[in-house]
């Protein structure tokens, strides 16, 4: 072997190390999730992993997960949006008001709050992108304003009970089953459509991973050794399989889960396969360069905040329909869970970096903590402290792994 | 050549940054298929003048003509539209993206479009990037490496590849040889000559007068926001350098 002294080779080694580091970062969050699940499964004597609890956990994560996706984009362009928690609560209350007091249909009410969500995003985009007000300040104003608006809407009754069945099914319903498959053998009492979908997802996952590996090989990237790759495939497939089995044993896939999956796939596609996603990353990485190459930073800022507004509306729908009501406290601290989910999921506080898949795992980490600690009956004050520690740990871990990368460079 | 309408004509360009008068009324003419060298001391206003031509800055005063037609240059997009490409002094790369993404930043090739949004044609962009880097004889392990992992010279090559990727009419290069080794400088200067052969018109900024001397047909000196010299590149290198340096440092100031 010749000594490594030409720049290209050094660069290759550097990048190989970098990939390793990035993988450590990514594996870190899966390991964290696994540790959390194991700890709670032991401390709750298995209740945490019960079909019922996992199903609830997924529905609970839904309204945070969609916010986390929007927040990831906001963080990628080096901003933050603190207003989305109360915006989500406020929009949920508007939907409730429209259905209960104005007797609007559910689809019309939903359309209304999506429009309001876009409007809210446009407003933030204007303050941040046009007026150049720091996002932290602009959205803190939003936090106050939407909180006030939420209280105004719910003032008269405190809680608006939602009686619309269609609307309530979004947060509580499950997908129908395939009735033509006989209820025999191991399929007894199993939700077959969910089971089938799970198997399809595993096949799709394995194929796309193989495809990705081949592409990396084609581009002379260092990939993990084949046996490690197979271990990863088996572990991940087993994980999806277990979740599928758990869900099929209860009531199957919920509409909330379906909604989240659609949103995840859509955003994953936008961020990785379209010029819009590329421009969002470019603006996050170097806004001046993006502007010089003809990307309108202003337009990207508007787009990202409007997407955040739409997802806040969606989060409001999922939350209100899950609890079949709009309350004065709806949305409280959602923004912090969403920010934490994005950071746990590997988004960088300095912008330019973040993945949709990571933020979803991050959302599950945050909600597993809440759910597990609730099951254990831990006092809410301690819960806040634990969540704070996890957030700090995620960012410290991120900074530490990144610094290590720089040492190598 | 001279009797044709120049490809670029800038008249009485003025630009202030707060209290700083970066340009105090500069004229510049670039003829078809000409290589124009632009030199001057630090802060003379070279980058500012070129950023005005590339749409990055809006001038406070002055006019720009492309092929004799007065135009309003309001953004980089406008400049791209008129076939003007610029390599920026600070390279303007996004470290979080890979080489391909940087070369095509803002002008991604797409397979399928709805309005402004489309699906990236990664395959085409990859091959094209490889071709552009080949032309510069730059060897990268992969065009999918993130730019942050590259060396200064490699990054410079990426920026040059981008400035020459879109078959521009006018290519502006702000310090294209700044971070390069002697061998790499030769490659860049060869590329500049090659671009000229292909019919391109080029403006090149450099502090290395010998670079300008090697490739340029004509040269302009800026000093404190004014044009102080506009001359053909002739004579032997030593006399030429002496002549130019006198204008750069202000020892001579006799421009009409
Ligand atoms: N964006 C800006 N904001 C404020 N001042 C600026 C800006 N750009 C340039 N200037 C000022 O304008 C003057 C000319 O700068 P310019 O970058 O054009 O010089 P230059 O000739 O390119 O110098 P160098 O050889 O160091 O690159 C300098 O005094 C600089 O400080
Ligand atoms: Mg300069």
The answer, for A160 touching chain B at a CB cutoff of 8 Å, is no
Residue ranges in chain A whose pLDDT is less than 50: 1-4, 405-409
Please report which confidence band the pLDDT of residue B107 belongs to, taking 50, 70 and 90 as the band edges: very high
Residue ranges of domains in chain B: 8-96+168-249
A7 found inside a domain? no
Q: What confidence tens digit (pLDDT) does each residue in A150-169 have?
A: 999 998 778 999 999 999 99
The reported pLDDT for the residue numbered A16 is 58
Residue B51: closest CA among chain A residues belongs to which residue?
A292
CB distance B117–A275 less than 8 Å?
yes
3-state secondary structure chain A: CCCCCCHHHHHHHHHHHHHHHHHHHHHHHHHHHHHHHHHHHHHCCCHHHCHHHHHHHHHHHHHHHHHHHHHHHHHHCCCCCCCHHHHHHHHHHHHHHHHHCCCCCHHHHHHHHHHHHHHHHHHHHHHHHHCCCCHHHHHHHHHHHHHHHHHHHHCCCCCEECCCHHHHHHHHCECCCCCCCCCCHHHCCCCHHHHHHHHHHHHHHHHHHHHHHHHHHHCCCCCCCHHHHHHHHHHHHHHHHHHHHHHHHCCCCEHHHHHHHHHHHHHHHHHHHEHHHHHHHHHHHCHHHHHHCCCCHHHHHHHHHHHHHHHHHHHHHHHHHHCCEECCCCCCCHHHHHHHHHHHCCCCCCCCCCCHHHHHHHHHHHHHHHHHHHHCCCCHHHHHHHHHHHHHHHHHHHHHHHHHHHHHC
Q: Distance from the CA of A120 to the center of ligand 2, in angstroms?
A: 41
Please report which confidence band the pLDDT of residue B92 belongs to, taking 50, 70 and 90 as the band edges: very high
Q: Distance from the CA of B22 to the center of ligand 1, in angstroms?
A: 7
CB distance A282–B140 less than 8 Å?
no
Q: What confidence tens digit (pLDDT) does each residue in B23-36 have?
A: 999 999 999 999 99
Work out the mean pLDDT of chain B and round it to a whole number.
92
Residue A278: closest CA among chain B residues belongs to which residue?
B101
A385 found inside a domain? yes
Q: What confidence tens digit (pLDDT) does each residue in A40-86 have?
A: 999 999 999 888 899 999 999 999 999 999 999 999 999 999 999 99
Q: What confidence tens digit (pLDDT) does each residue in B116-141 have?
A: 999 999 999 999 999 999 887 777 88
Q: Distance from the CA of B47 to the center of ligand 2, in angstroms?
A: 4
A17 found inside a domain? no
A220 found inside a domain? no
> The CATH number of B8-96+168-249 is which of 3.40.47.10, 3.10.20.30, 3.40.50.300, 3.30.420.40?
3.40.50.300
The reported pLDDT for the residue numbered B35 is 97
CB distance A273–B141 less than 8 Å?
no
The reported pLDDT for the residue numbered A5 is 53
Supply the pTM of this predicted model.
0.91
Q: Say what the ipTM of the complex is.
A: 0.92
Q: How far is A286 from chain B (nearest CA, A)?
A: 5
A8 found inside a domain? no
Q: Which of A18, A219, A294 sits opposite B149 (nearest CB)?
A: A18
The reported pLDDT for the residue numbered B178 is 85
Interface with A, mutate which of B81, B87, B96, B120 (most A CBs under 10 A)? B96
A363 found inside a domain? yes
A11 found inside a domain? no
The reported pLDDT for the residue numbered A15 is 58
Range of the domain at A341: 46-173+295-408
Name the residue with the closest Cα to ligand 1, atom 6.
B17
The reported pLDDT for the residue numbered A398 is 78
Name the residue with the closest Cα to ligand 1, atom 20.
B43
A218 found inside a domain? no
């Amino acid at each position: 072997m010749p000594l490594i002294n030409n720049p290209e080779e050094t660069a290759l080694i550097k990048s190989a190390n970098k990939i390793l580091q990035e993988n450590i970062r990514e594996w870190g969050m899966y390991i964290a999730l696994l540790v959390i699940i194991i700890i709670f499964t032991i401390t709750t004597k298995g209740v945490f992993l019960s079909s019922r609890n996992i199903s609830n956990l997924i529905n609970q994560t839904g309204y945070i997960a969609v916010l986390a996706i929007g927040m990831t984009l906001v963080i990628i362009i080096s901003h933050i949006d603190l207003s989305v928690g109360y915006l989500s609560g406020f929009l949920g209350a508007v939907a409730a008001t429209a259905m209960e007091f104005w007797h609007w249909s559910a689809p019309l009410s939903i359309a209304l709050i999506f429009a309001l969500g876009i409007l809210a995003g446009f407003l933030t985009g204007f303050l941040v992108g046009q007026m150049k007000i720091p996002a932290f300040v602009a959205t803190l104003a939003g936090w106050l304003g939407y909180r006030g608006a939420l209280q105004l809407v719910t003032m008269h009754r405190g809680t608006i009970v939602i009686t619309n069945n269609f609307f309530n099914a979004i947060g509580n319903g499950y997908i129908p089953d395939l009735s033509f498959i006989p209820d025999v053998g191991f399929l007894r009492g199993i939700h077959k459509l969910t089971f089938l979908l799970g198997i399809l997802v595993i096949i799709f996952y394995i194929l796309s991973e193989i495809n990705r590996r081949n592409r990396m090989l084609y581009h002379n990237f260092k990939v993990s050794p084949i046996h490690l790759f197979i271990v990863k495939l088996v572990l991940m497939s087993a994980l999806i399989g277990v979740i599928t089995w758990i869900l099929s044993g209860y009531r199957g896939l919920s509409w909330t889960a379906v909604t989240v999956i659609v949103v995840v796939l859509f955003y994953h596609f936008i961020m990785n396969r379209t010029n819009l996603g590329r421009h969002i990353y470019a603006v996050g990485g170097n806004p001046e360069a993006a502007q010089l190459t003809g990307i309108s930073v202003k337009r990207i800022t508007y787009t990202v905040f409007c997407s955040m507004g739409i997802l806040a509306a969606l989060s409001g729908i999922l939350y209100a329909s899950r609890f079949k009501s709009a309350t004065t406290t709806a949305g409280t601290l959602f923004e912090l869970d969403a920010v934490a989910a994005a950071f746990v999921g590997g988004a960088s506080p300095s912008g330019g970096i973040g993945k949709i898949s990571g933020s979803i795992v991050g959302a599950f980490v945050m909600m597993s903590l809440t759910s597990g600690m609730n099951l254990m009956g831990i006092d809410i004050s301690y819960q806040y402290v634990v969540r704070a520690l996890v957030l700090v740990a995620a960012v410290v871990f991120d900074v530490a792994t990144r610094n290590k990368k720089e040492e190598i460079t | 050549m001279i009797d044709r309408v120049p490809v670029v004509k800038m008249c009485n360009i003025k630009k202030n940054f707060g209290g700083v008068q970066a340009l105090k009324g500069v004229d510049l003419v670039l003829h078809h298929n000409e290589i124009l060298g632009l030199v001057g001391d630090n802060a003379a206003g070279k980058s500012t003048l070129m950023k005005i031509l590339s749409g990055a800055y809006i001038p406070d005063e002055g006019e720009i003509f492309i092929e004799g037609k007065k135009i309003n240059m309001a953004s980089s997009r406008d400049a791209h539209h008129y076939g003007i490409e610029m390599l920026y002094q600070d390279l303007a790369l996004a470290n979080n993206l890979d080489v391909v993404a940087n070369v095509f930043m803002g002008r991604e090739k797409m397979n399928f479009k709805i309005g402004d949004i489309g699906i990236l044609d990664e395959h085409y962009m990859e091959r094209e990037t490889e071709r552009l880097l080949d032309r510069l004889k730059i060897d990268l392990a992969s065009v999918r490496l993130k730019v942050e992992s590259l060396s200064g010279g490699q990054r410079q090559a990426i920026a040059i590849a981008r400035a020459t990727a879109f078959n521009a009419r006018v290519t502006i290069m702000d310090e294209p040889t700044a971070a390069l080794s002697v061998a790499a400088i030769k490659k860049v200067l060869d590329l500049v000559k090659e671009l000229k052969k292909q019919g391109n018109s080029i403006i090149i900024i450099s502090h290395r007068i010998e670079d300008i001397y090697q490739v340029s047909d004509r040269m302009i000196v800026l000093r404190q926001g004014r044009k102080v010299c506009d001359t053909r590149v002739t004579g032997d290198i030593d006399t030429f350098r002496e002549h130019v340096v006198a204008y750069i440092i202000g020892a001579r100031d006799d421009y009409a």
